[in-house]
Chains A and B, each alone.
Chain A
Amino acid sequence: MPVFRRLLPLLLLGLGAIFALLPFYWMVLTSIRPPAEIFNISLWPVPQDFHAAENYAKAASAVPMARLMLNGAIVCLGILVVQVATAVPAAFALAKLRFPGQRLFLTLVIAALCVPMQALALPLYVGLASARLLNTYFALMAPFFLSVFAIFLFRQSFRSYPDEIIEAARLDGFSWMEICWGLVLRGSLPALAAFSVFSIVAHWNDLYWPLIVVTDIAYAPPPLGVLFFADAESGADYGALMAGAAMITAPMVLCFLFARRQFIAGITMTGVK
């Protein structure tokens, strides 16, 4: 019985993991199969006819894959840099300073967490269109520059920073910006890693907003590019499509594996999710 009690959680977690990983496995499997085997129900990892080279070559040549990756990197990095630059001072002020209206601001931040992106899409689109900014990197990035989620996450993390160290720094002559970036953020690197993973994955994978503001493949981030590809090639070539999907997913998987330890420390420390 004790053996069973110890194994049961593992069993449940294992089932969950299979459930979560199956689509990825299927994607990779399809990407190395020839068209004839696509609808084969078998999950056996080795196809009868190994077709990986053809599928990946086709995916890479049908769309400018390098360009899509570059677009994705520019957009994700641009968003992340501005998000951190704006959210860290705001979170510091909410966590460690005393000023009138502080609770109101915090309430507004939490309220803003509840507003879905879709609700704002139309006014944002109209605004960008009338400013003639559609089909630019700016249009892809601008709506995400201010992240209330980042403010909230950093505030939770900053709150645990010892006040006495901040006071010692004030006596030593640190400026507030030096305290904020050099001491407090430095003490919250796991939160920064966790937020970076959240942000990069969300915007790398985002299809909704690019679909609205970008029609030119020169500015398309990877998911939109793959969508162009699917349209252009009549969508029937699932092997090549999945090869494309596997290629654009790979950087995110690497990114997560790289930051995994920090990421887990970050989300457990800040009590988010």
Chain B
Amino acid sequence: MEPQSLELTGVGKGFGAEDVLRSIDLAIRPGEFLSLVGMSGCGKSTLLRIIAGLETPDRGRFTIGGQDVTALDPADRNLAMVFQSYALYPHMTVRQNIATPLRMRQLSQVARLPVLGRLVPGRAAAMARIGVQVAEAAETLQIGHLLDRKPAELSGGQRQRVALARALVRDPAAFLMDEPLSNLDAKLRAHMRSELAALHRRLGATFVYVTHDQIEAMTMSDRIALMQAGQIEQLGTPTELYERPATLTVARFIGTPAINLLPAEVDSAGRVRVLGLETGLSAPRGATGAATLGVRPEDLRPGRGGIRARVLHTEHHGADRYVSVLPEGLADRPLTLRLAAGASLPADADGRLHLAFVAERAHLFGADGVRLDCHVDARVSA
């Protein structure tokens, strides 16, 4: 099947008095890998369930390939979903599990009956066709040797593959994935990330992937929709979200180690100061008062002059090391520096040093948490 576009227009949903989704507009392009990320309770799972047809939206429209499917049953949307718990049918073998979506679509209700179904003409031929497709899907995910086992006899990673095969075999308009890797251990998760990305490249299908793990979103996605309190905070490529976060929430959520946030003031001339020091940044006209300056750990480095700080501890991560420092005047809010393993750290015997950062790579957010685009004065300092 050709990859399809999915489009949500003004979709809202409330449970009781609470609005879980405010008004979502989201156009997912054909063949795109789009991640919905956010904290738990941000509405990302509800949005995916509306796409799947498991929940009905209170307002708005949802189209697949331009066709309005808002009122359609889940089965009629031709979408495949992979669940966090894999949701394999426990009494069926792997082979039967993978065959089920095909059996449900290609056999009539009578032909699906346990014993009587065998009498329906054409059933044997249909089952043979299904068998071939099951074998192909199993081959793709390298689970051919597991076909006669029950789900209870499989490891978590194997169940994951069976769930993927069951999704794959129906050749859907799009794949929906609800935190499919969160029940796997760290090593397997990293491995499955690259396999999922490879599967997406090979199929060229539309993927909608829900996760609370920003690393999964960053590593696999074409675009990321970061959600917060039932709304999309920012929609963009992983690079855009990392390098130009639209809000403080996005800046906080994306990136490990997390972005360093420093309290800043903008004076009436628009100059941005941090801990009383000039930063060389100018805020746009009209933005004065308290603000927050975000600096990624790799953009913070030891310097001459600037913020005084004391080293707390160092974490070694092979090629990188993360240095945790406590700036003077910012008690209990340590900052993180990301340095190459070989880079020197010019701290004195007491672990004291000065910090500088690259002004053009700093992000300024107003008191309302929205990004303020600054321009950099010639003089770089702090």
Chain A interface (Cβ < 8 Å from any Cβ of B): 162, 164-165, 167-175, 178, 183, 186-187
Q: Which of B52-82 contact A (CB under 8 A)?
A: 52-54, 73-75, 79-81
Shortest beta-carbon contacts, A-B, top 3: A173-B75, A173-B104, A164-B87
Report the nearest A residue to B112, measured CB to CB: A178
Query: Size class of B's contact patch?
Result: 20 to 34
Question: When chains A and B are docked, how far (Å) is the Cα of A246 from the Cα of B83?
Answer: 55
Question: When chains A and B are docked, how far (Å) is the Cα of A187 from the Cα of B53?
Answer: 25
Report the nearest B residue to A169, measured CB to CB: B89
Which A residues lie within 8 Å of B105 (CB)?
A: 173
Question: When chains A and B are docked, how far (Å) is the Cα of A173 from the Cα of B88?
Answer: 15
- Which of A165, A167, A175 has a CB less than 8 Å from the CB of B89? A165
Q: How many A-B residue pairs have CB under 8 A?
A: 53
User: Chain A nearest CB: distance from B86 CB in Å?
Assistant: 8
- Which of A170, A174, A187 has a CB less than 8 Å from the CB of B90? A187
Which A residues lie within 8 Å of B256 (CB)?
A: none
Chain B interface (Cβ < 8 Å from any Cβ of A): 52-54, 73-75, 79-81, 83-85, 87-91, 100-101, 104-105, 109, 112
Which B residues lie within 8 Å of A169 (CB)?
A: 89
Which A residues lie within 8 Å of B79 (CB)?
A: 171
- Which of A162, A174, A178 has a CB less than 8 Å from the CB of B87? A162
Question: When chains A and B are docked, how far (Å) is the Cα of A175 from the Cα of B74?
Answer: 11
Report the nearest A residue to B85, measured CB to CB: A164
Question: When chains A and B are docked, how far (Å) is the Cα of A247 from the Cα of B81?
Answer: 57
Question: When chains A and B are docked, how far (Å) is the Cα of A186 from the Cα of B92?
Answer: 11
User: Chain A nearest CB: distance from B81 CB in Å?
Assistant: 5
User: Chain B nearest CB: distance from A6 CB in Å?
Assistant: 34
Question: When chains A and B are docked, how far (Å) is the Cα of A171 from the Cα of B83?
Answer: 12
Question: When chains A and B are docked, how far (Å) is the Cα of A186 from the Cα of B53?
Answer: 25
* 29 sampled A-B residue pairs with Cβ under 8 A: A162-B85, A162-B87, A164-B87, A167-B54, A167-B83, A167-B87, A168-B81, A168-B83, A168-B88, A168-B89, A170-B53, A170-B54, A170-B73, A170-B74, A170-B75, A171-B53, A171-B54, A171-B101, A172-B75, A172-B100, A172-B101, A172-B104, A173-B101, A174-B75, A178-B112, A183-B91, A186-B91, A187-B90, A187-B91
